[in-house]
Amino acid sequence: MPYCPIVATVLLVEDDDHVRQALLRELREMGHAVRSAGRALDALREVTADVPEVVVLDLGLPDLDGGEALKMMRAVSDVPVIVATARDGEQEIIRLLGSGADDYVVKPFSAGHLNARIEAVLRRARTAPRRDALVVGGLRVDADRRQAWLEEVPLQLSRREFDLLAFLAGNAGRVVRRRELLAEVWQQPYGDDQTIDVHLSWLRRKMGESAASPRYLHTVRGVGVMLTEPE
């Protein structure tokens, strides 16, 4: 079977103008539609305004450490992120992958090397099996599109709020223990219950309910949370 290149919309986040322009030119010659940003906050605005298919994120940015930018990006989007770093120590790479990076390239690297990484990340993302939307009463959650609707009205959720809602909807009718939420949604073996309470409060507010008058999200005191269809 002949090789078929994978092309995508790419957001290139790199503060060095010379490096950025060279990569822009070469990636576009390879067929990618490339936008660029030289600062972390500009990149975050780009991701929230018009989500690309993949982000290439340099860690040495002038306004914000790239590692912190990665965490902030992960709070609002699950777009695949390839970090570009001069820090090639094993512990640093483990930390970056644990913070949500999908892959990494170590500087200096060629556009061809970067393109191969982009194609590999996109190949994994595009071949993932399609999942059916979850429906609980008037709530519909599409995990693949990362969108949720309540009575056909789109819910504007942060990345963590969506992850929490999707996990609870996938376990509708069952009390989910707080420890399980920390492990599955926050990817932490332990943590502060207040973190869960704060996100539940934000999620309830966006769904038009409260802890005192729940419709979908019910707290089972001392145990956990259950999402269920309203009576």
Give domain limits for the chain. 9-126, 134-227
The number of residues in the chain equals 231
Chain centroid to Cα 180, Å, comes to 20
- Please tell me whether residue 11 adopts helix, strand or coil conformation: strand
Q: Would you state the structure tokens that stand for residue 18, as one six-digit string?
A: 């010379």
Q: What phi and psi values does residue 142 have, to the nearest 5 degrees?
A: -105, 100
Put simply, whether the predicted model's pTM sits higher than 0.85 gets the answer: no
Sorting pLDDT into bands at 50, 70 and 90, what band is 3?
very low
Helix axes 40-49, 66-76, angle to 10 degrees: 20
Least confident of 107-116, 124-133, 149-158, 162-171: 124-133
CATH topology of domain 134-227: Arc Repressor Mutant, subunit A (1.10.10)
Residue 160, pLDDT score: 82
Mean pLDDT for 75-86 is 84
Q: Are 42 and 18 in contact (CB under 8 A)?
A: no
Residue with tokens 């390239």: 105
Residue 204, pLDDT score: 95
Q: pLDDT (tens digit, 9 = 90+) per residue, 44-74? A: 988 888 888 899 999 888 998 878 888 888 8
**Structurally, what CATH architecture does the domain formed by 9-126 represent?**
3-Layer(aba) Sandwich (3.40)
Residue 67, pLDDT score: 81
